[in-house]
Structure 1
């Protein structure tokens, strides 16, 4: 009788272990299926909404992907599940690359590209604000401007030269203000030298660009 009771207890324990094991595998499978479903659902969200919430989307993806990878250890045969996870990872990476292109800011206009080259990226926009130019940096600003023009003088069109002149005059206007704010005589002298270099370079090359355009027009 005693042996029968012991056997019954062992059998019940065995059922309990089996039940727990099955429950663990079921939970692991659900975790993996949830991860796969998340990847598929993200692809159905509009690009506009994704752009606003992309950081959260990536964070949630990373969490679910980590949980899915960990869940593989709880599956007796995880071959199919491993393939599902791998496939979803590939899908998400491809989608992420696609969205990176969609989210990228539009390319700057030729005029803005020219301004970025002359002054530094984003320094001068449509508002033509030169307030960032001060007594401490104005010499280096002139230096970059003139040297950039010198390096690219053979590539500029007549419209480019007109834009360059507009920017140059705006910088000169800012210099008039900066001179009253502590511009050193040494920097003023160096700027004068850069201005002497710029003036004939502008005149000659703009005339050359206009002449080339007239030739092309005649063709």
Structure 2
């Protein structure tokens, strides 16, 4: 994160004092310089740091490239400046392609963790990665209510079909979703959605306890029958 902050800081270099006559030209030249420095700094980051901060990097890049392109209306026939911009664009395009490929590979790896798990797909929707770490990073303040609602409706519809092992999975997912909710609350979850989620949890808890209890009883009975 320290190096990433230095990258963003590189674009905040203050313009030097200029004469009124040359102020526009020098400002344009500084904007081109800032753009080139920014792209070079992004190239200097390691892949993991770029991936962790890519959204902010790309947003900053769009602002810098817009300034550099606008600068060319002042610099006009300055071929050297245009060449520097073009070269930096090519560098950034290569970095962006690498970042996109890395992000795609990561998503595919996460998706593979839940491949062949129809139960997870049923609870959370196909394509919504649960993963072994169960971070639920795709759950946010805008969709968390619908995630809880789908979770509850799926459980309620199929609860009589779950084995004790299935219920262990449901419990782990539910607790992980609750942990995600603690984070989402800090990110602006509305009071209305929070209250509706609380209502869903109140309905879910007693039904889940009952299913766990009866599943354990059925498991014990099955063991006794087998022993006899």
Query: TM-score with structure 2 length normalisation?
Result: 0.47
Higher RCO structure (Cα 8 Å, ≥6 apart): 1
TM-score (normalised: structure 1): 0.49
